[in-house]
Structure 1
Amino acid sequence: MTGEALADDQTFTYRILDEHSSVDPQVVEDVSGAEIVRDLFEGLMNQDEDGNLVPGVATGYTSNDDNTVYTFTLRPEAKWSNGDTVTAHDFVFAWRRAADPALASPYQWFIELMSIQNAAAIIAGETAPDQLGVKALDDHTFEVTLSAPLPYFPQMTTHSTTFPAPQKVIEAHGAEWTKPGNIVSNGAYVLTEHLPQERSTRERNAMYWDNDNTIVDKVVALVINDENVALTRYLAGELDRTEVPAGQFPRLKKEHPGEAISFPRLCNYYYTFNLSDSGPEVFKDVRVRKALALAVDRKIIVENVMAGGQTQAYSFAPTATAGFTPPTTEMATMTQAERDAMAIELLAEAGYDKGNPLKFNMIYNTSEGHKKIAVAMSQMWKQKLGVEVELGNMEWKVFLETRGNQDFELARGAWCGDYNEASTFLDLLDSNSGYNDGKFVSPRVDELLAAAKTAKDASANYTEVEQIIAAEMPVIPIYHYAGVYMMDSDVGNWPVNNVEQNWYSKNLYKIAE
């Protein structure tokens, strides 16, 4: 099938930093969890190696003239792992479930973002979930009605929140339905093992409609909190893929030219100020926020700390975003010396200097790379501005909760696009976004983002939102990601050209060595 001789053992083993948040498609909220969910479940549409839409459970779709009604035709051969047929009713159930306040999904807002009719009222608890604009016209025809035209709507159906869910199984097992033994899924793989904080294993689903074209038999995700330990295990042959530790790409590229890879990713890395009522009074002063943003030397962070092909960020949406070129901000055009001088001036105006130092704490989730960046930022602030920072690291789930509850002063943030369009990043700063963890509120930003949803060309709206972010600085953009991996040369077909890095194990294969 691939033209290469295939290995006898078709097992793909890779490292993840933390235990995933969930494998329930309507609950999962992190990248490593979504990777597992994309193997276990299949949505209406998938992506190919370049990030283009390809059929999933749906063979295709049509829309009405004004793009407010989309009709998906489902393949009759799609089955659940227990042999039941996947129907349009499974999608109706899943989408209502995602919107339903009873589930309290951390990704509930995504259903509203998709502009599905009545989503906002259901999420607010004003309307019953069965009023959501989705219906099964018959077992194999799924119709979605939007409250406003959304040209990129089909792209959003590659996201895990929109995957089907098995109603009978969820009703039988409740919250335990995702455990191995209970779980029933419709993707190319089934979950056969899960040892929390250690590993999860997924194996071929014989009922999957395209099982004959799947090559990889088994996929193992190992939780390894330390990236240097992960690298050692990779070099010992225990892993097929791991992240390159911060700063080590140049050396590894020299020593393992065929295995150390770097490519652009649709993700941003930033720090968010807590601007809510519980946040520190000092961060309500835009001069303080700007001074801190200006004094971060991003060149040192991307070239010396990370050194893996990441790019300096002076905008929130990454430059890899399709159809949008972020505006050039004033900060981007200055030299670092000019930024530092302006930072000193702004902080002094706000009443802080080395004699009267600004003090606060910043948190990040446990990882050697995140620690190196936090330490570098705090040192830059100390040397240039006399700022005293207390650093705190937290295990992933605790970190998500702490940040989500506004129980912080300055917190690490990162976002990988849920679809390739600028709104997936900029919507995070909408005052109603579930992931606006700093509780930044700008009526103008809300207005621009709402108007962007129905605009023929929204780039002027997105440009103005970026300009407001640059002026108000509710977040400090640090860098835009690169995918920096050690990838065993026997792994075939890794989608390096898909900037969203939506990969599917069913498209990979192991080459005979």
Structure 2
Amino acid sequence: MLKRITAALLCLTILFSFSGCGKNEPKNANKKFNYYLASEPKTLDPQIASDSAAAVAVEALFEGLVRLGADNRPYPGVAEKWVGSENDTVFTFTLRSSAKWSDKEKTPVTANDFVYAFRRALSPQTGSPTCSRMFCIQNAREVNAGTVPADQLGVTAPDAHTLVVRLNYSYPDFPAITAAPVFMPCNQKFFESTSGRYGLEIKYLIGNGPFEIDGKYGWSHGQYLSLVRSDTYAGKQKPLPSNLKFTVQNEDNAITDPVDALKSGTVDAIAVSGSQAAAAQAQGGTITSFEDTTWGLCFNTQSELMKSKNIRRAFIQAFDRAKVLQHLPKNMSAANDIIPPSTTLLGKPYRSLANGGSYFLKQDKNAAALLAAGLNELSLSELKSVTVICPDDANVKLMLNEMIASWNVQFHNYFNMEPLPEDQLASRIQSGDYQVALCPVQPAGDGPLSVLSLFKSSEKNNPAKWKDPAFDAMLDSAEKNGGADSAAIFANAEKYLNEQGVFYPLYYEKHYYACAKGVTGVVFHPYGAGVDFIQAGKE
């Protein structure tokens, strides 16, 4: 009898424990989510990952000191708390003791994993394309240049769960930028065991994030990346989804109608155009948007003709801006500056700190004289044919027609327009196969430096192929100066870029992201910096 009573009590205990779990778990949890990646991630190594596809995958597989919410503000990641001191030039992060890696041993994540990751990201041998975000850290720039040893970097680990970061200047919002992939931890022992193949295959990767790759067949290159909720993750927020399926878009599975893909369940979230955003919202979806891209006239400063500042300025100042902007593409707004209006510096609006804007070159009735001066400098007797490449958009073509009409009248010549699909437009600009282009400038992150550094001499993807030591020196000075005082230096660099006639701002583009009806909690980051699914739910 005693055995029967004990067994009955045990059954009731188990029954009620399961019932309790069900009550505590949200109804929209444990769902599968589908998301398309525009391309195959080049690597899943956070310290060198720079493409947008990798940013999405890395955010699911890894976790930095903090995570960013829908308001772009930080909340606890591996660090359960942090405090700034010495006028926010020193930050002390306390790591949660439950943080673990996804290896078989479930190795604890320690402060030394962050010290090693930061040093490795800044090492000249690593060649990280994103490590400039770390230059606010004491001696980071010098470590990256190879002039100071890595152990002099302003990052230390007093114990396994304490990380201290010393900065070059006061930066109250420093914790927020540590959510970026380049700041994520790296286990030195595992990294060294991969012999240079870290992040390239499943067996050469361990993470510490809310999700992990689903078994040995979870990553099929060029096809998909299949993730499941990690059983080693013990962060502040339990991951809601049970599975994430990142399909790599290719010719066989390309989505031609994003709105229909949302409705059919092919995807649960996707990037859409401005016009498609309205349709997605009409069928019950939710929309997130960011005005983070500036379109304008960009001049190839290495071409025979456009290497002349006077000629570039002549083309810019010959047309009537007001008439051109009458033909703005749909869902776009006029751009007065190269740096988008939403840009912040040290957590504050950049434009207010810079005390100015609208630096674009104004119309000049003497534009023809500028052209003549430029031709004379180049020892050219006449203006050769000029072609402007641009997106194949009806409104853009109307804008360019207005410009060309003005050029025809003032320069007494004939000018060509070559509309292209956006992928071909991007390829031509990257290769330098153009004279003038109407093209986008989209930074990889927030801040004036992210925009302006695209035009540095050392930038491989510099759209204007511009090399100007004076401009480079301005940006270097702003970086070294740091703090709010750097706003004035950035403003001067922005003015200089306009005055040199390198890039002329015309309009801002918003990027739109849609979630299907019933989908909640998906967080999109601006500047193509990734998508967070940790709290994604589905009714």
Q: What is the TM-score with the length of structure 1 in the denominator?
A: 0.79
Which of the residues 263, 272, 280 maps onto 2:289?
263
For residues 233 and 221 of structure 1, the distance between their equivalents in structure 2, rounded to whole angstroms, comes to: 14
Which of the residues 189, 194, 209 maps onto 2:219?
194
Between the two proteins, the alignment pairs up a number of residues equal to 486
Counterpart of 1:12, as a letter, is F
Question: Which residue number in structure 2 is paired with residue 72 of structure 1?
Answer: 93
String of CA shifts for 1:89-134, please: whole Å, max 9, x gaps: 11111111111122222223333x32x2332233223344343232
| Stretches of structure 2 lacking an aligned partner (at least 5 in a row) | 1-21, 408-413
1:106 and 1:434 in contact (8 A); partners too: no
For residues 300 and 248 of structure 1, the distance between their equivalents in structure 2, rounded to whole angstroms, comes to: 25
For residues 432 and 23 of structure 2, the distance between their equivalents in structure 1, rounded to whole angstroms, comes to: 50
Cα gap change, 1:313 to 1:291, in 2 (>3 Å): farther
Specify the SS of the correspondent of 2:198. helix
Cα gap change, 1:374 to 1:228, in 2 (>3 Å): farther
String of CA shifts for 1:233-283, please: whole Å, max 9, x gaps: 334331112222465555x26x825336353344445565444xxx21322
Cα gap change, 1:461 to 1:247, in 2 (>3 Å): same
Counterpart of 1:18, as a letter, is S
1:199 and 1:223 in contact (8 A); partners too: yes
Specify the SS of the correspondent of 1:425. helix
For residues 394 and 39 of structure 2, the distance between their equivalents in structure 1, rounded to whole angstroms, comes to: 18
Which of the residues 138, 145, 167 maps onto 1:124?
145
Deviation at 1:78, TM superposition (A): 0.9
1:268 and 1:481 in contact (8 A); partners too: yes
Counterpart of 2:342, as a letter, is A
For residues 2 and 389 of structure 1, the distance between their equivalents in structure 2, rounded to whole angstroms, comes to: 63
Which of the residues 205, 225, 229 maps onto 2:230?
205
Cα gap change, 1:207 to 1:265, in 2 (>3 Å): farther
For residues 213 and 124 of structure 1, the distance between their equivalents in structure 2, rounded to whole angstroms, comes to: 40
Residue 425, structure 1, aligned to residue 451, structure 2: yes
Counterpart of 2:119, as a letter, is R
For residues 321 and 300 of structure 2, the distance between their equivalents in structure 1, rounded to whole angstroms, comes to: 22
Question: Which residue number in structure 2 is paired with residue 414 of structure 1?
Answer: 441
2:392 and 2:420 in contact (8 A); partners too: no
Which of the residues 196, 204, 211 maps onto 1:182?
204
| Stretches of structure 1 lacking an aligned partner (at least 5 in a row) | 364-369
String of CA shifts for 1:388-447, please: whole Å, max 9, x gaps: 355777979x959x83x867766755334534x433333444555676553442536633
Residue 446, structure 1, aligned to residue 473, structure 2: yes
String of CA shifts for 1:463-487, please: whole Å, max 9, x gaps: 3333223222323434334232332
Specify the SS of the correspondent of 1:37. helix
Q: What is the TM-score with the length of structure 2 in the denominator?
A: 0.75
Which of the residues 15, 35, 41 maps onto 1:20?
41
Cα gap change, 1:318 to 1:304, in 2 (>3 Å): closer
Cα gap change, 1:219 to 1:269, in 2 (>3 Å): farther
1:40 and 1:188 in contact (8 A); partners too: yes
Counterpart of 1:450, as a letter, is S
Deviation at 1:27, TM superposition (A): 1.0
2:35 and 2:270 in contact (8 A); partners too: yes
Specify the SS of the correspondent of 2:507. strand
For residues 126 and 61 of structure 1, the distance between their equivalents in structure 2, rounded to whole angstroms, comes to: 30
Question: Which residue number in structure 1 is paired with residue 185 of structure 2?
Answer: 164
Question: Which residue number in structure 2 is paired with residue 218 of structure 1?
Answer: 243
For residues 297 and 246 of structure 2, the distance between their equivalents in structure 1, rounded to whole angstroms, comes to: 28
Residue 29, structure 1, aligned to residue 58, structure 2: no
Q: How does 1:47-58 map to 2 (within 5 A)?
A: 47-58=68-79
Counterpart of 1:185, as a letter, is G
Counterpart of 1:504, as a letter, is D
Which of the residues 78, 101, 105 maps onto 2:128?
105
Specify the SS of the correspondent of 1:282. coil
Residue 320, structure 1, aligned to residue 347, structure 2: no
Larger Rg over CA atoms: 2
1:69 and 1:144 in contact (8 A); partners too: yes
For residues 380 and 195 of structure 1, the distance between their equivalents in structure 2, rounded to whole angstroms, comes to: 49
Cα gap change, 1:188 to 1:291, in 2 (>3 Å): farther
For residues 2 and 12 of structure 1, the distance between their equivalents in structure 2, rounded to whole angstroms, comes to: 23
Deviation at 1:343, TM superposition (A): 6.7
Cα gap change, 1:477 to 1:207, in 2 (>3 Å): farther
Deviation at 1:26, TM superposition (A): 0.8
Deviation at 1:4, TM superposition (A): 11
1:228 and 1:245 in contact (8 A); partners too: no
Specify the SS of the correspondent of 1:464. helix
For residues 458 and 8 of structure 1, the distance between their equivalents in structure 2, rounded to whole angstroms, comes to: 45
1:301 and 1:373 in contact (8 A); partners too: no
Question: Which residue number in structure 1 is paired with residue 102 of structure 2?
Answer: 81
For residues 305 and 334 of structure 2, the distance between their equivalents in structure 1, rounded to whole angstroms, comes to: 26
Cα gap change, 1:496 to 1:90, in 2 (>3 Å): closer
String of CA shifts for 1:55-75, please: whole Å, max 9, x gaps: 211123334424433322211
For residues 39 and 53 of structure 2, the distance between their equivalents in structure 1, rounded to whole angstroms, comes to: 8
Greater shift in the superposed pair: 101-110 or 222-231: 222-231
Cα gap change, 1:349 to 1:458, in 2 (>3 Å): same
2:324 and 2:403 in contact (8 A); partners too: no
Residue 466, structure 1, aligned to residue 494, structure 2: yes
Question: Which residue number in structure 2 is paired with residue 237 of structure 1?
Answer: 265
Greater shift in the superposed pair: 482-491 or 158-167: 482-491
For residues 14 and 298 of structure 1, the distance between their equivalents in structure 2, rounded to whole angstroms, comes to: 41
Cα gap change, 1:75 to 1:303, in 2 (>3 Å): farther
String of CA shifts for 1:28-74, please: whole Å, max 9, x gaps: 11233212211111111221221112121112333442443332221
Greater shift in the superposed pair: 312-321 or 341-350: 341-350
2:295 and 2:509 in contact (8 A); partners too: yes
Specify the SS of the correspondent of 1:470. helix
Specify the SS of the correspondent of 1:228. coil
Indicate the percent of aligned positions where both proteins have the same amino acid.
23
1:188 and 1:204 in contact (8 A); partners too: yes
1:69 and 1:143 in contact (8 A); partners too: yes
Deviation at 1:187, TM superposition (A): 0.9
